[in-house]
Amino acid sequence: MQKPVVMMAVIGVLIAAGIVLSFYGSQVITEGLSQKEEMVMAGSSFEISSDIDMDTTRLGVFVVQVQNFKEGAIHAKIFDPLGAELVSTTVDRESFEKRFDVATSGTYRLLVENAGQDQTQIIAVIGPMPDPEKLSFGITGFYILILGLIGIVGVGIYAVRNRRKKAS
C-alpha cells in the first residue's frame, strides 16, 4: 500500500475518534442537567428546576439561550431549595452561562422572564456543574478532530510533492 493511503487511513481514524469523543463528551456533560425549551410571550416567564446534591458538588450552573436576542429583554433568577434568591441577572448575550454556589442539597429553580415587547424562543438549562473530567472528553475530542483535519492538509501537501518528484 502507498504511504499516502496509509496516512489517510490513520487520519480517518483520528477524525472518527474526535467525532465520537465530542459526541460522547456532550452526552456525559449534559446528563445531570435539566433542560427546557419554550416560546415565552412578552411579559411572561417560565421556570425549570433541578435537584442538586451538595455532597456531589458545591457549584451549580445555568444557561439561557435566546433566539432573536434583544438587549435587556430577558432576566434570569436562581432560587435555592428554601426559596431564597441566589442570583438575579439580565441576560446580556444570546448564549448566557453563569455559575452559582450550592449551599444546601435540594431543588434549585431557574426563573426566566421575558420583559421585552416580542415573544421569544428560550432554552434554559440548570443543574450541577459537570466535573472537569467530564468536560475533558469534549475538549479532547475537539483537539483530536482538529489534529485530523490538519493531517488531511499535511497528507495533501505530501501527496502533491511526491507526485511532482515522480513526474520529474
For the stretch 33-88, pLDDT in tens is: 899 999 999 889 999 999 999 888 899 999 999 988 888 889 999 999 999 999 99
Burial of 9-32, coded b for 16+ CB within 10 Å and e otherwise, reads eebeebbebbeebbeebeebeeeb
At residue 168, the pLDDT reads 65
CA separation for the pair 110, 46 (Å, rounded): 8
Tell me if 32 sits within 8 A of 128, measured CB to CB. yes
What tens digit of pLDDT does each residue of 131-159 get?
Answer: 777 778 778 888 999 999 998 888 888 87
Contact 30, 63 (CB under 8 A): no
> What values do phi and psi take at 105, rounded to 5?
-75, 145
pLDDT per residue over 85-123, tens digit each?
999 999 989 999 999 999 999 999 999 999 888 889 999
CB-based burial, 107-145: b 16+ in 10 Å, e otherwise = ebbbbbbbebeeebebbbbbbbbbeeebeebbeebeebb
pLDDT digits (tens, 9 = 90+) for 21-42: 888 887 877 788 899 999 999 8
Whole-angstrom Cα distance, residue 54 to residue 121?
32
In this prediction, residue 97 carries a pLDDT of: 92
Inform me whether the pLDDT recorded for 1 exceeds 60. Answer: no
Query: What pLDDT score was predicted for residue 74?
Result: 93
Phi, psi of 118 (to 5 degrees): -120, 155
Return the pLDDT at 66. Answer: 92
